[in-house]
Amino acid sequence: MGAANATSITASRLDRSPINLFLMINTFETGGSERQFAVLAQNARAARFQVHLGCVNPRGPLAGQFGEVAQFPLGNSLFGWQSLRTRLNLARHLRRNHVEIAHAFDFYTNLTLIPAARLGRVPVVIGSHRQLGDLMTRAQNRAQAVAFRWCNAVVCNSRAGASYLAAAGVAPEKLVVIGNALPAEVFERASPALLRRSGVLRVVMVARMNAEYKGHAGFLRIAADIRKSMPEVEFVLVGDGPLRPELERQATALGLGERVVFLGDRRDVSAVLASTDVAVLTSDSEGLSNAILEAQAAALPVVAYDVGGNGELVDAERGALVAAGNEREFASAVCRLLLDASLRKEQGENAQRFAEENYSVDRVCRQYEDLYVRLLNQKRRNPCV
């Protein structure tokens, strides 16, 4: 029998029988990795995949989107006795459920699921890299690189992230770039969550207040600069975290007063975005930013620093990229948009069209499904791969 016929028969059999797919995440918090896990778990086609889910710790608001999820706690260390026992239990769980493809979604599950899947003789094992890697310690990068050697593929959500791994020694042929998926509802026109006031324009940033690299302090300095020439502009911060009290004090010290609105965590981000005119992101490190993509889906132009994968999303047709750390130029780019309604509309429409064409949930989930089937077909043709 020819190779082409064998491939056809294998593909046909896989199409008839759902593939046992295991997806694993660390927690159910509202970060980018967690949300992408949720999107794929909820949208993988049942005709092709029997989806099994696992987590390290079930904490977080996204947990309510699922039923009972298998838990594999690590204790206080990735390399302690409990974590070793957990990997053994996980390997048994994978064998018991006849898992054919195991996909880890973040750093902690890369180091947990990948070795367990190899121990459990799962045919296809996939890791994930959803950041640049510059914020990880040297030890973390080394440990993850070792885990990736045992993978059939590593999914990166940006070309920048894939380049970082390749430079760190991960085999380029293992690296696959699949962007973040945007649920259909983020493209729908939402009713504004904040009352619109005549003559008042709003600049919004969506980012958790849990790390200095997110650049909230810089955002506030930029806001103070903009306010010198445009005192009626409002600045809206969506997100919460341990840095919020200090940021509120900084806003007061900069004289921003009521012109800065701290909204905290919101489940209605689309409605908040519909209340604003320009979106910004001042972080120093990004893989592929969900905040940028969701703003684009809401037809907002975006101003961001030229770091990581931001250049894969933002250009002069959809907003502005600014050299990292140049707060004066950042403020100028925002002001140009605030002063030109037609430019905002044009760039916002361009951004929305770009996001829908490249990052819709259907498109991204099909990319994952095609990857899964391709890798499993390869493994069945050549079990030694």
CATH number at residue 108: 3.40.50.2000
Q: Do 374 and 326 have their domain in common?
A: no
What 8-state DSSP symbol labels residue 71? Answer: E
Q: Do 118 and 206 have their domain in common?
A: no
Q: Is the pLDDT of residue 13 over 60?
A: no
Q: Is the pLDDT of residue 382 over 80?
A: no
Q: Which two tokens stand for residue 366?
A: 């099909």
Domain count, the chain: 2
Mean pLDDT of 44-66: 92
Q: Is the pLDDT of residue 348 over 90?
A: yes
Q: Do 339 and 374 have their domain in common?
A: no
- Residue 11: what residue type? A
Q: To which residue do tokens 């459990």 refer?
A: 120
Mean pLDDT of 87-110: 97
Q: Do 365 and 273 have their domain in common?
A: no
Q: Do 296 and 235 have their domain in common?
A: yes
pLDDT at 16: 62
Q: Is the pLDDT of residue 76 over 90?
A: no
152: containing domain: 3-181+361-381
Cα distance between residue 334 and residue 319, in whole Å: 9
Residues 241-288: pLDDT tens digits?
999 999 999 999 999 989 999 999 998 999 999 999 999 999 999 999
Residues 143-164: pLDDT tens digits?
999 999 999 999 999 999 999 9
Cα distance between residue 369 and residue 51, in whole Å: 12
Q: Do 162 and 269 have their domain in common?
A: no
pLDDT at 32: 82
- pTM, to two decimals: 0.88
Query: Can you tell me whether residue 248 is helix, strand or coil?
Result: helix
pLDDT at 10: 41
Q: Do 207 and 355 have their domain in common?
A: yes
Q: Do 150 and 215 have their domain in common?
A: no
pLDDT at 133: 78
Q: Do 244 and 325 have their domain in common?
A: yes
The dihedral over CA atoms of 361, 363, 364, 366, expressed in degrees to the nearest 10, equals 110
Query: Can you tell me whether residue 378 is helix, strand or coil?
Result: helix
pLDDT grade for 80, boundaries at 50, 70 and 90? confident
Q: Contact 310/280 with Cβ under 8 angstroms?
A: no
Query: Can you tell me whether residue 128 is helix, strand or coil?
Result: strand
Q: Do 143 and 28 have their domain in common?
A: yes
Q: How many residues are given for the chain?
A: 385
